[in-house]
Amino acid sequence: MIKRWLTYIGALAIAVWILLPIAYTTLASFAEIRDYYARVIPRSYTLRYYEEYFRLGVLDALVRSVQVGLITVALSFIFGLPAGYAIGRWAFKGRDTLRMAVIFFRVFPVAVMAVPLAVTYISLGLYDTLLGIALAHTAIALPFVILITSSIFISIPKDLEEAGHVFGMSGLHVFLRITLPLAAPGLAAAAMFTFLISWNEVVAATILSYVNRTLPAMVLSPYVIGTGGELPDPYKFAAATIMILPALLFMAYVRRYLITMWGAAGVR
Amino acid sequence: MVRVNLEGVTKRFGNVLAVDNVTLTVESEEFFVLLGPSGCGKTTTLRIVAGLETPDAGRVLFDGVDVTHVPARKRGVAMVFQSYAVWPHMKVFENIAMPLRIRKLPESEIAERVKRVAEILQIDHLLDRYPFQLSGGERQRVAVARALAVEPKVLLMDEPLSNLDALLRVTARAELKRLQKKLRITTLYVTHDQVEAMVLADRIAVMNKGRLVQVGTPDEIYREPIHRFVAHFIGSPPINFFDGVVQEVCIDAGFARIPVNNVPEEYVGKQVIVGVRPEDLSLQPVPRGLELKGELLLIENLGNEYILHVDVGGTTLRVLAREKPTRRDVTLYLDPANLHIFDKSTELRIPLRYK
């Protein structure tokens, strides 16, 4: 009984920890500036900050963000999935070194890499294109994709694939009919994670684009960065809410699929 | 059905010689068991026949045709894995049907074949379930059904009973034997369980450290083990060993002088290991029996039998007895015709007998 109550209290604490900042951020994004600085909980509200962002083209930026995210997922899976499979499935010379090398790519700070990258992009004609940003995001996401997918493939018993070979399947058949369906729940999670990396990335997106900005670059650059942080807080809260909202809607939508997938994977 | 030949098959993993120059023939329709301790190369040998490993040297022949470099999927074999390897994302029906789909059989025949093997293995009521809804025994049946449905040239089994509980293993064992005799599929079966091997096999190949030690019928392997290792590995409770020296008319084992006759001259003075199976020692006098006085140390109760540990002049012998002795000092009777004598240096059998 006591244990049960402790569980509830713990769950409540975690929920408050996550939800309270989101709730306050949303609330403050509608507050009149004078009211916001005067009270803890504002009483008069306005849509002004949102109107401003919409006038600046936040919807277009959102569409671009989704596009960049999808291209990033596609590219990083095209390159990362075979690498993850190889590292997870086959013992070969230098495998552990390779695994470490993959992690080491993460030590290069994006901010340092982004400026030379911008110069290169200009000469290649990739500057200010969605593909350009997606390529940079792919470089950032690839190590994660390789490591996550390799551990997903490790967790699939080799016997199941070998049974496929013995019972007449070609290598491609085995991958499509056995390995991939079994890896699907994990791969879906990895895809979502990759999408979020791209969705949240701001430094490279800001430096590598000028007009065709992704959502975070767009909402952050003109006001927060452009004014040196002098902008009134409700503008920033509105920007944050715009960032959070699509992710929340998305999670709410895929939640039941996630539970089905992970539920099914759990009983294996 | 198909005859399988291995010719000088050798396989290395790094520095480890997993299979060392193995040559053997599995006759058509034969139930052939590879028996040995873990790490002896028996599973690797099986996987080479399956096509899941390629040997470094040697050939694999199916009915005289070299299949050494034919990929697994084109060999027409079926395999029951130790883990069963039943595909978890497919229902039982799909698990059995999938290999048939790959072979592009018409849907009506697939349904027909699945139904038939499911009935044989009594899993026809489970076809609509997922593997995680099945018990270990049921999963094992699904794995066997999947293997039989493809009507393989050769059926390969890698310790298919080792994950079942003891009672189920005994029934499943008898069932496998019955099935194989009925369907007459050439079967190569890997196990480390000597009882399983004795019960199932038409012939057994005992392996140790990657090499074949002895190939023969269960009776041959049991009665005439050609190497100390085979004598030691086969038989439960395990055989008793003690050292001795060959003399003109007997073997001097220290605590006893065991009569042998027709000793060739070159054997005199040879150091030997003498093996006596626990069931060849008796508490009742046997004709020509050698009397051994000993002291009872321990009794293991098996329910219908007892394993007695008896100290005879410093050597502890295990004795399989029908009844419990009442006193600590016991007299054992040894029939010298049932001895297994091995050269101490080569550990190979020496044809010394008492007739």
Domains annotated for chain A, with CATH where assigned, are 1-46 (no CATH), 57-266 (1.10.3720.10)
Stretch B110-117: mean pLDDT:
95
On chain B, the residues whose CB falls within 8 A of the CB of A165 are 51-52, 71-73
Contact B52 A166 (CB under 8 A): yes
Contact B51 A169 (CB under 8 A): no
Please say whether the beta carbons of A146 and A128 come within 8 A: no
Mean pLDDT of chain A: 86
- pLDDT at position A266 is 44
Contact B85 A173 (CB under 8 A): no
Stretch B274-287: mean pLDDT:
91
Residue A263 clears pLDDT 60, i.e. is over it: no
Q: Which residues does B191 contact at the CB level (< 8 Å), separation at least 6?
A: B33, B34, B35, B42, B159, B161, B162, B197, B200
The answer to whether residue B86 sits within a structural domain is yes
On chain B, the residues whose CB falls within 8 A of the CB of A267 are 132
Considering only CB atoms, B87 lies closest to which of A168, A170, A178, namely A178
- pLDDT at position B3 is 96
The answer to whether residue B350 sits within a structural domain is no
Does the CB of B70 have a partner CB in chain A at under 8 Å?
no
On chain B, the residues whose CB falls within 8 A of the CB of A168 are 73-74, 99, 102-103, 150
B308 and B201 within one domain: no
Considering only CB atoms, A167 lies closest to which of B78, B82, B83, namely B78
Which one of A148-157, A254-263, B92-101, B345-354 scores highest in mean pLDDT? B92-101
The answer to whether residue B353 sits within a structural domain is no
B251 and B166 within one domain: no
- At B50-88, the pLDDT tens digits run 999 999 999 999 999 999 999 999 999 999 999 999 999
B337 and B200 within one domain: no
CB under 8 A, 24+ apart: contacts of A251-256: A254/A192
B226 and B296 within one domain: no
- pLDDT at position A268 is 38
Here the tokens at position B73 are 């999927």
CATH number of the domain at B304, please. Answer: 2.40.50.140
Number of domains present in the structure of chain B: 2
- pLDDT at position B195 is 93
Domain span at B277: 240-343
- pLDDT at position A100 is 83
CATH number of the domain at B214, please. Answer: 3.40.50.300
pLDDT band at residue B163 under the 50/70/90 scheme:
confident
B260 and B165 within one domain: no
Which of A28-37, A109-118, B178-187, B278-287 comes out lowest in average pLDDT? Answer: A109-118
- At A40-97, the pLDDT tens digits run 888 888 898 898 888 888 889 989 999 999 999 999 999 999 999 999 888 788 888 8
B252 and B223 within one domain: no
Please say whether the beta carbons of B307 and B278 come within 8 A: yes
Residues in chain B: 355
B304 and B276 within one domain: yes
pTM of the model: 0.82
Please say whether the beta carbons of B231 and B340 come within 8 A: yes
- pLDDT at position A120 is 92
B133 and B50 within one domain: yes
B195 and B105 within one domain: yes
Q: Quote ipTM for the complex.
A: 0.86
Burial per residue of A235-258, b for 16 or more beta-carbon CB atoms within 10 angstroms, e otherwise: bbbbbbbbbeeeeeeeeeeeeeee
Q: At what angle do helices B92-102 and B136-149 cross, to 10 degrees?
A: 20
- Report how far residue A236's alpha carbon sits from residue A49's, in angstroms, rounded to the nearest whole number: 9
Residue A21 clears pLDDT 70, i.e. is over it: yes
- At B29-41, the pLDDT tens digits run 999 999 999 999 9
- At A147-160, the pLDDT tens digits run 899 989 999 999 99
- pLDDT at position A229 is 63
- Report how far residue B351's alpha carbon sits from residue B355's, in angstroms, rounded to the nearest whole number: 12
On chain B, the residues whose CB falls within 8 A of the CB of A163 are 79, 81, 85, 87
DSSP for B311-328 reads: EETTEEEEEEESS--SSS
The answer to whether residue B349 sits within a structural domain is no
Which one of A173-177, A238-242, B162-166 scores highest in mean pLDDT? A173-177
B228 and B244 within one domain: no
Contact B98 A162 (CB under 8 A): no
Residue A224 clears pLDDT 60, i.e. is over it: no
B259 and B228 within one domain: no
The answer to whether residue B161 sits within a structural domain is yes
The answer to whether residue B255 sits within a structural domain is yes
Question: C-alpha angle B134/B129/A187, rounded to 5°?
Answer: 95
Share of chain A above pLDDT 70, in %: 91
Considering only CB atoms, B102 lies closest to which of A169, A182, A268, namely A169
On chain A, the residues whose CB falls within 8 A of the CB of B74 are 168
- pLDDT at position A162 is 96
Considering only CB atoms, B103 lies closest to which of A159, A166, A168, namely A168
Sheet hosting strand B57-62, strand order edge to edge? B16-26, B4-13, B57-62, B65-66
The answer to whether residue B124 sits within a structural domain is yes
Shortest Cα–Cα distance, A148 to chain B (Å): 21
The last residue of a domain, from among B233, B264, B282: B233
